[in-house]
Amino acid sequence: MSVSVHALAINEDTFPAEYNGQQFDVTYRPQALTPGFYKELAEAIAKETHNGQAAAFWINRVVKAWDLVGDDGQPLPLDEKWLANQTVITTTFMWDLARQINEHRSPKGTSSTPNVEPLDVGSLAG
């Protein structure tokens, strides 16, 4: 029996993310996390001229909505240019959100990625 790849795609998923003890809802696009996306991310990292550009790329492409608001009560934009140049949220926050989304889409014990022992870089020293 054939199944269309589009039938398997989850268009969006929402979960409560957390940062510094504060929870907020995030809706993201699981189908955005393709090998092609990660290739583009690697290129964005290589071209990054200031800290935060690649994180902004990741958030812009994957996050559909969040309930983060600024001091004015308005939702913070998900625009890549704004994210890369704003002074409201940190790059650490953006990468932590990326980590939480990856963990949410592949809960422990369900990943199809094989377990690989971490490389001891000290063993590479001559």
Tokens 């009560």 -> residue: 73
Q: Residue 121: inside a domain, yes or no? A: no
Q: Does any domain span residue 120?
A: no
Answer whether residue 1 is part of any domain.
no
- Say if residue 25's pLDDT is above 80: yes
Q: Is the pLDDT of residue 123 over 60?
A: no
Within a domain: residue 112?
Answer: no
Instruction: Tell me if 24 is assigned to some domain.
Output: yes
Note whether residue 93 is domain-resident: yes
Whether 86 is covered by a domain: the verdict is yes
Burial class (CB in 10 A: 0-12, 13-18, 19+), 26: buried
Which pTM value belongs to this model? 0.76
Parent domain of 96: 10-105
User: Whose CA is closest to 31, among 56, 57, 6?
Assistant: 6
Res. 56 pLDDT band, cuts 50 70 90? very high
Domain count, the chain: 1
Q: Is the pLDDT assigned to residue 68 strictly greater than 80?
A: yes
Residue 67 lies in a domain: yes
Task: Quick: pLDDT tens for 76-103.
Answer: 999 999 999 999 899 999 999 999 999 9
27 forms bridges with which residues in the sheet? 14, 65
38: exposed, middle or buried (Cβ count in 10 Å: 0-12, 13-18, 19+): exposed
